[in-house]
Structure 1
Amino acid sequence: MIRPVVYVLLLLLAQVSYSQSPKKPLRIGIAGMAHDHVHGILNKAFRQTGQTDIEIVGIAEPNRELAEKLAKQHGFSMSLVYPTLTEMLDKTKPEAVTDFGPVVDHKKTVIVCAPRGIHVMVEKPLATTFADAKQMAELVKKHKIQLLTNYETTWYGSNHKAYAIANTDKSIGDLRKIVVHDGHQGPKEIGVSNEFFAWLTDPVTNGAGALFDFGCYGANLSTWLMHNQRPLSVMAVTQQIKPDIYPKVDDEGTIILTYPKTQTIIQGSWNWPFGRKDMEVYGQTGYVFTVDGTKMRIRFKDDKSEHTAEATSADVPATDPFTYFARLIHGETKPDELTSLDNNIIVMEILDAARQSAKTGKAVKL
């Protein structure tokens, strides 16, 4: 006969053991593999050892040759690959889908997934047009799914620490100017895959060139820093500095956003001498600069000179987008404002207006 005290102890041990048992990984399907960022999820799912928070249950990719190349590289079975998204969903029943196809296909993925109650995460930006973005948002609301847009800079501790300094602690006063620099030497120059290059440099499948590819980062961060406030106007200038390489799209884009008492300058380029994703945030009494994902430069009102700081993993909502996605779907975390649909609808309104402004040479009032 088990004594009452012993019984209680056994019950507590069982509860602790249950709470510490590994949670089931999120069942994910991949829609398209022509975006080179697909290597991130493939590495996590097929090369990471130990317990993982995601499981790839199916892949939709019509380009069999591309799928076979990636299967060989990452060690997954071609039995996971289906020619269409619909067939993959029917056969594998994923809880969520991550889209690594051309940006123009993001809407198609949501159209197929939303009525099935399947959550979606796309690579940045959300869409190629503001109209598509609004249609996607309507489907999300109707079918009550999550739709996230993944930016590399969301997972930079420096950006979250800069936000805290500027908005939570209010250590630099009211914001006056935000300057965001993003880009690299160019897709061809850094050696992207042929499949990625083909759609990235097409105005229909990508929406624009560097203007969309890297302008979206600044629009996302500025909207976040401004608490999802829409700018009053959008002005953009684009150039084709390398028309021999990029004949169809811009390779240089600068966007100016005006707010009632703040201005944002977004510099997206395929002409930097090296890759960069950094930001300058100026307030009335100080500034905070992000140098990379962790390093920062800061100067407050009474400082005689600037000082350096470094962010840690504790400053970001998750170690990677797929872990965050799994936690979100499983109800272990709340939606992050930086990846929110509200933010990214405004981002698309900005990018659409920037494209129009670049064509007409006039500022677009929102």
Structure 2
Amino acid sequence: MLRIILFVALLLSAQLTFGQSAKKPLRVGVVGLVHSHVNGILNKVYKQQNQADIEIVGIAEPNRDLAERLAKRFGFDMKLVYPTIAEMLDKTKPEAVTDFGRIVDHKKTVEACAPRGIHVMVEKPLATSFADAQQMEALSKKHKTQLLTNYETTWYGSNHKAYALANTDKVIGDLRKIVVHDGHQGPKEINVNQEFFEWLTDPVTNGAGALFDFGCYGANLSTWLMHNQRPLSVLAVTQQIKPDIYPKVDDEGTIILTYPKTQTIIQASWNWPFARKDMEVYGQTGYVFTVDGTKMRIRLKDEKAEHLAEATQADAPASDSFTYLARLLHGETKPDELTSLDNNMIVMEILDAARQSAKTGKAVSLKPKL
């Protein structure tokens, strides 16, 4: 009897191992190499050689010199590189694409992919205008494809633990104020590459300067914490503190979102003394601060001082956006609200209103949806 039990156990173990090894990675196409966040997927696949969940089957990039530089750095074959999205899609047939091009070109990527039934994940923000975002949304829904937006902060365990404390456990009471700080010293100051710098500092290709580049994080997190509630009004102030470096766009932006019983203050800047992505969430009876991806500070009612807390990677939906994308499309995880199209349509409405408010000096009221 013992031998039979051992034999069955070994058989089940072998079947499990075979099932795991036979699982195919998600076939991913990369659109554009001009956004330096592309280093993340290239590093994952070619340096860490962690290809269990994704496989890069093609790259669309017309700048041959840039592609060759990155090929030399990361070790991918230049045979993967195609001059156009259409050719890359037709020749390699990916299941999904990740877009690392200019924000203004996100719409073109969706226009090429959605009719082919190919899912798309873009780097934040979703688009340069709410109008473009609406067209992208319509295409995605028509062709029943995923259209996701990736933010670094989505993969911070601290943000998800803060959300749970505020909204699931409700330990700080009803939300009253959310303050989000995002940014760094400036693109030039942190030495981004020239291809990235050129479009990031152009209002046409990026939508704005720091206002869009980092204001989108706060809009994304606030919309999530407020259960996709659209704010009543949006007020924004921008400045050009370094016009000699950034003559076309703002490098400092503050956005105030007004909800019926809550305010959100988004502080987006290319003038911080160091890089930061942190958040303060205040309720009626306490607060939760996220310091970075794991560290937190919490003070609750009747506590005389705040205490430290630590989140883990397990508190986030996945370790990174590419692992999440593969799991989502393979049906192994539920959709994440921060990357979702519903959330990011509201983000785009907020950013559009913020740009208009900064230009006119007046708050913009968001009309109720019919």
Q: 1:4-43 counterparts in 2 under 5 A?
A: 12-13=12-13, 15-43=15-43
Tell me, in whole angstroms, the C-alpha distance in 2 between the residues paired with 1:80 and 1:102.
20
Tell me, in whole angstroms, the C-alpha distance in 1 between the residues paired with 2:115 and 2:196.
29
Displacement of 1:12 in angstroms is 3.9
Q: Which amino acid aligns with 1:38?
A: V
Aligned 8 A contact 2:137 2:341 in 1: yes
Q: 1:153-168 counterparts in 2 under 5 A?
A: 153-168=153-168
Q: Which amino acid aligns with 2:134?
A: K
User: Secondary structure of the residue that 1:292 maps to in structure 2?
Assistant: coil
Q: 1:190-229 counterparts in 2 under 5 A?
A: 190-229=190-229
Which residue number in structure 2 is paired with residue 135 of structure 1? 135
Aligned 8 A contact 1:45 1:52 in 2: no
Deviation string for 1:147-205 (max 9, x for gaps)? Answer: 11000000111100100000010000000000000000000000000000000000000
Aligned 8 A contact 2:45 2:51 in 1: no
Q: 1:73-222 counterparts in 2 under 5 A?
A: 73-222=73-222
Tell me, in whole angstroms, the C-alpha distance in 2 between the residues paired with 1:59 and 1:314.
31
Displacement of 1:302 in angstroms is 2.0
Q: Which amino acid aligns with 1:104?
A: V
Which residue number in structure 2 is paired with residue 342 of structure 1? 342
Displacement of 1:313 in angstroms is 1.3
Which residue number in structure 1 is paired with residue 298 of structure 2? 298
Which residue number in structure 2 is paired with residue 240 of structure 1? 240
Aligned 8 A contact 2:67 2:81 in 1: yes
Aligned 8 A contact 1:296 1:310 in 2: yes
* Greater mean alpha carbon deviation, residues 56-65 or residues 22-31: 22-31
Q: 1:205 to 1:52 in 2, by over 3 A?
A: same
Displacement of 1:20 in angstroms is 3.3
Which residue number in structure 1 is paired with residue 277 of structure 2? 277
Which residue number in structure 2 is paired with residue 252 of structure 1? 252
Deviation string for 1:217-245 (max 9, x for gaps)? Answer: 00000000000000000000000000000
Aligned 8 A contact 1:22 1:51 in 2: no
Displacement of 1:303 in angstroms is 1.0
| Superposed structure 1 runs of 4+ greater than 2 Å apart | 3-22, 49-52
Which residue number in structure 2 is paired with residue 72 of structure 1? 72
Deviation string for 1:326-358 (max 9, x for gaps)? Answer: 101111111101111000000000000000000
User: Secondary structure of the residue that 1:229 maps to in structure 2?
Assistant: coil
Q: 1:279 to 1:9 in 2, by over 3 A?
A: closer
User: Secondary structure of the residue that 1:339 maps to in structure 2?
Assistant: coil
Equivalent residue pairs, number? 364
Q: Which amino acid aligns with 1:289?
A: F
User: Secondary structure of the residue that 2:140 maps to in structure 1?
Assistant: helix
Aligned 8 A contact 2:183 2:277 in 1: yes
Deviation string for 1:51-104 (max 9, x for gaps)? Answer: 521111100000000000100010111100000000001111111100000000
Which residue number in structure 2 is paired with residue 230 of structure 1? 230
* Greater mean alpha carbon deviation, residues 7-16 or residues 307-316: 7-16
User: Secondary structure of the residue that 1:235 maps to in structure 2?
Assistant: strand
Tell me, in whole angstroms, the C-alpha distance in 2 between the residues paired with 1:227 and 1:72.
45
User: Secondary structure of the residue that 2:55 maps to in structure 1?
Assistant: strand
Aligned 8 A contact 2:240 2:250 in 1: yes
Q: 1:64 to 1:261 in 2, by over 3 A?
A: same
Displacement of 1:271 in angstroms is 0.5
Q: 1:52 to 1:7 in 2, by over 3 A?
A: closer
Which residue number in structure 2 is paired with residue 59 of structure 1? 59
Tell me, in whole angstroms, the C-alpha distance in 2 between the residues paired with 1:315 and 1:10.
33
Displacement of 1:11 in angstroms is 6.0
Tell me, in whole angstroms, the C-alpha distance in 2 between the residues paired with 1:238 and 1:5.
70
Which residue number in structure 2 is paired with residue 315 of structure 1? 315
Tell me, in whole angstroms, the C-alpha distance in 1 between the residues paired with 2:196 and 2:50.
31
Deviation string for 1:95-126 (max 9, x for gaps)? Answer: 11000000000000000000000000000000
Q: Which amino acid aligns with 1:188?
A: K
User: Secondary structure of the residue that 2:134 maps to in structure 1?
Assistant: helix
User: Secondary structure of the residue that 1:254 maps to in structure 2?
Assistant: strand
Tell me, in whole angstroms, the C-alpha distance in 2 between the residues paired with 1:250 and 1:296.
31
Which residue number in structure 2 is paired with residue 47 of structure 1? 47
Q: Which amino acid aligns with 1:314?
A: A
Q: Given the two structures, how large is their TM-score scaled by the length of structure 1?
A: 0.97
Aligned 8 A contact 2:44 2:50 in 1: no
User: Secondary structure of the residue that 1:189 maps to in structure 2?
Assistant: coil
Tell me, in whole angstroms, the C-alpha distance in 2 between the residues paired with 1:360 and 1:23.
54
Displacement of 1:17 in angstroms is 3.5
Structure 1: tracts of 5 or more residues without a match: none
Tell me, in whole angstroms, the C-alpha distance in 2 between the residues paired with 1:231 and 1:238.
20
Q: Given the two structures, how large is their TM-score scaled by the length of structure 2?
A: 0.96
User: Secondary structure of the residue that 1:271 maps to in structure 2?
Assistant: coil
Q: Which amino acid aligns with 1:66?
A: L
User: Secondary structure of the residue that 1:136 maps to in structure 2?
Assistant: helix
User: Secondary structure of the residue that 2:115 maps to in structure 1?
Assistant: helix
Q: 1:7 to 1:155 in 2, by over 3 A?
A: closer
Aligned 8 A contact 1:176 1:283 in 2: yes
Across the aligned residues of Structure 1 and Structure 2, the Cα RMSD in angstroms comes to: 1.5
Deviation string for 1:280-312 (max 9, x for gaps)? Answer: 000000000000111000001121100000101
